[in-house]
Amino acid sequence: MGNRLGMKRVYNVVAVLLFAVVAVLGFPLNRDLRAQERGSTGRTGQVLALGVAKIVENNVASARQQAIARAVKKGVEYYLVSKLGQKTTAEHLDTLIDRILPRAKELVEYYHVVKETQLEDRYTLLLSIRVNEKLAIDRLREQGLLGTEAKPVRILFLVGNTLQGSGQYWWKRPEEISPLCPAELALFKAFQDKGFEFVDRTISFPTAEVTPEMKQVELSPLLIKAWGELFGANVVVYGKGQTESSGEVSMSLQVISVADGTEYCRMTETSFSTTKPSPQEIVSIFEEIVNRMMPRLEACVADAGGQELAYKTFEVVLRGLKDYVQYRRLKNFLSKEIPGVKEFVQSRIGSHYVSFRVQFQGDEEKFASLVMYHDALPVPIQSVEKKEGQVVFVVSSKSGQ
């Protein structure tokens, strides 16, 4: 009897994993949707799951509700199993099934139906679910399934360099252990003292075999994931720095999670030099580019690595607003487009200003940088003032509607 019960539990967990695979393969829009959601919100805890229910006596509404309930249950189960990993799940399967999964619905922040269809007597829908990560982690820790101290996210910079059309990519001939390129140096410097752990490829080259496919210049997410696994990284920052004879210097990056090969974000920044820059000047230009990227890049790397960043509450003030249109645009932008914003509530209002109480995953400096360097800032900002507990944005007097 005990063996049959244990096998049944194992089959249930396996069914969850198979169901998740079906969700990924059965809907072509799934991968793009996940990338869009992660890229726009910058938050983890998003899960897609299928729900299927039989239509009894033509009661479609009841079948739809059953399908939603089943999708929610399967989505949370898949999230928890993915969070714990295969080894921990196997070791604590009884605890997971008896004490965590019966209250799985409590861990859902919200959900929405992505797509639904009725085929004969079956109602099927694809559900996008946002899991309350803090509550989920607290529940897992209460049961001793997660450690109380998180390990730092380990990053591999898989970044090459192109100088006037000539490319240098260290992973083409990794056995040569080439020195760090200017783009890599800029990234190492920017990520110092940020609480991450780095892979120094010049002194820690793995002994495992590198396949020919992994030596290609252009790498797919799965090959990038393979490089991360070789070096024991949690996240890979992949891309290149490029210097043209015209004086244009640019950097293009992708952030890939090693856990599942998912691309969490991609970004490109460009600078121009009026003269032909020296090697040291090229490094300085790359440092400036990376500094502009850092607010978004740091948040994306932390997200891809599953790192929990502390939330902080402070005041955001908008000054110089001309009309309600500017107010609405900035309010919607700050509350919905800046990753890491958990709460955004109006607190005070004056003749030419309005203030909000903000709960944000980071500090005032990071929030201001994310706003000022955002590509879709809806209203021009003339200046920003930062101090402990407050960020003030001054709207440009020349801004239009």
Which pLDDT value is given to residue 43?
A: 40
Rounded Cα–Cα distance for residues 338 and 347 (Å): 19
Q: What's the confidence (pLDDT) of residue 183?
A: 93
Lowest mean pLDDT among 228-232, 265-269, 366-370: 366-370
Give CA separation, 350 vs 27, 76, 319, 320, 334, in Å. Answer: 50, 44, 9, 10, 19
pLDDT band at residue 25, thresholds of 50, 70 and 90?
Answer: very low
Average pLDDT rounded to a whole number, residues 136-165: 80
Q: What is the pLDDT of residue 319?
A: 92
Categorize the per-residue pLDDT at 213 as very low, low, confident or very high, splitting at 50, 70 and 90. very high
Which pLDDT score is estimated for 295? 83
pLDDT computed for residue 64 by the predictor: 93
CATH fold group of domain 154-304: Rossmann fold (3.40.50)
- 290 has pLDDT over 80: yes
Tell me the three-class secondary structure of the chain, residue by residue.
Answer: CHHHHHHHHHHHHHHHHHHHHHHHHHCCCHHHHHHHHHHHHCCCCEEEEEEEEECCCCCHHHHHHHHHHHHHHHHHHHHHHHHHHHHHHHHCHHHHHHHHHHHHHHHEEEEEEEEEEEECCEEEEEEEEEECHHHHHHHHHHCCCCCCCCCCCEEEEEEEEEECCEEECHHHCHHHCCCCCHHHHHHHHHHCCCCCEECCCCCCCCCCCCCHHHHCCCCCHHHHHHHHHHCCCCEEEEEEEEECCCCEEEEEEEEEECCCCCEEEEEEEEEECCCCCCHHHHHHHHHHHHHHHHHHHHHHHHHHCCCCCCCEEEEEEEECCCCHHHHHHHHHHHHHCCCCEEEEEEEEECCCEEEEEEEECCCHHHHHHHHHCCCCCCCCEEEEEEECCEEEEEECCCCCC
Q: What is the pTM of this model?
A: 0.50
Tell me which of 29 and 102 has the higher pLDDT. 102
pLDDT-derived band at 40, boundaries 50, 70, 90: very low
Class of domain 312-395: alpha beta
Q: What is the rounded average pLDDT of the residues 42-58?
A: 80
Delimit the CATH 3.40.50 region(s) of the chain: 154-304
What CATH number does domain 2-142 carry, 3.20.20.210, 3.40.640.10, 3.40.50.800, 3.30.1660.40?
Answer: 3.30.1660.40
Instruction: pLDDT band for 207, please (50, 70, 90 cuts).
Output: low
pLDDT band (50, 70, 90) for residue 309: low
The confidence band for 3, taking pLDDT boundaries of 50, 70 and 90, is very low
The pLDDT score that the predictor gives to residue 155 is 94
Q: Above 60 in pLDDT, residue 281?
A: yes
Question: What's the whole-number mean pLDDT along residues 171-189?
Answer: 90
> What is the mean pLDDT of the segment spanning 124-151?
79
| Per-residue pLDDT reduced to its tens digit, 337-395 | 887 788 899 998 887 889 999 998 778 888 888 888 787 889 999 999 988 889 999 99
Residue 15 pLDDT class (50, 70, 90 cuts) = very low
Please tell me which residue, 242 or 399, carries the higher pLDDT value: 242
The answer, yes or no, to whether residue 170 has pLDDT greater than 70, is yes
Whether residue 215 has pLDDT greater than 90: yes
Tell me: the pLDDT tens digits for 184-203? 999 999 988 777 888 888 87
The boundaries of every CATH 3.30.70 domain in the chain are 312-395
- Which pLDDT score is estimated for 201? 86
What confidence tier does 308 reach under pLDDT thresholds 50, 70, 90?
A: low
Percent with pLDDT over 90 in the chain: 36
The order of strands in the sheet holding 122-131 is 46-54, 122-131, 108-119
Residues of each domain in the chain carrying CATH 3.30.1660.40? 2-142
Q: Which residues pair with 51 in a beta bridge?
A: 125
